[in-house]
Amino acid sequence: MEQRGVGEDAIETICRQYSTNQLAAQACGEKAECLLQLARSAEGLTNAAEAFKAVLTNSIADGKAKSIAKVGLGVVLEKQAAAVTDPDQTLLKKDALEQYLDVLDGLYFKESDGDQFWTKEAGNAAIRLASEMQEWPKVINILERMAKKLPQIAPSFEV
């Protein structure tokens, strides 16, 4: 337990003292992912969400780091939604879906430097969540967007 605290302190120091360094932004993203994996309570999920948001507001973080943070934040929001009832649950799920769609739409990438892995991950999460929410027109729209962004996987969408 104590070693994990030292590691967290070290990463937090890197995030604070080197906030203008691209590698520090990536380290902050890794910290957020670790916090999400370790989250066992509402407080743990809140800590993970705040860490992902810190990456999103970091002007040095690149598109890939921000896309990873958006997907991570979507996962956090879905976990938070599972712990509450409507109407809060629906609002959290819609917010999670928006996080995934931002990545699918390449919000943080220039036209030429998209990240196919995170685009696919975000798209798959968006399809799954929209399906769970029974928002079928959105599912179709997401599939069409994925087919345009990732033409190599488009045949897997055909029935």
> By C-alpha distance, which of 96, 110, 106, 104 is closest to 145?
104
Within the chain, residue ranges assigned H as helices are: 2-17, 22-38, 42-56, 63-82, 88-104, 116-132, 136-149
Specify the CATH number for 2-151; select among 1.10.12, 1.25.40, 2.60.120, 1.10.30: 1.25.40
Domain ranges of the chain: 2-151
Tens digit of pLDDT per residue, the chain (159 long)?
334 566 666 677 777 766 677 788 888 888 999 999 999 999 999 999 999 999 999 888 888 889 999 999 999 999 999 999 999 999 999 999 999 999 998 876 655 555 788 989 999 999 999 999 999 999 999 999 999 888 887 777 665
pLDDT of res. 3? 45
Q: What is the pTM of this model?
A: 0.87
Q: Can you tell me the distance from the alpha carbon of 57 to that of 69, in angstroms, rounded to the nearest whole number? A: 10
Q: Which two tokens stand for residue 62?
A: 């690149």
DSSP 8-class letter at 159? -
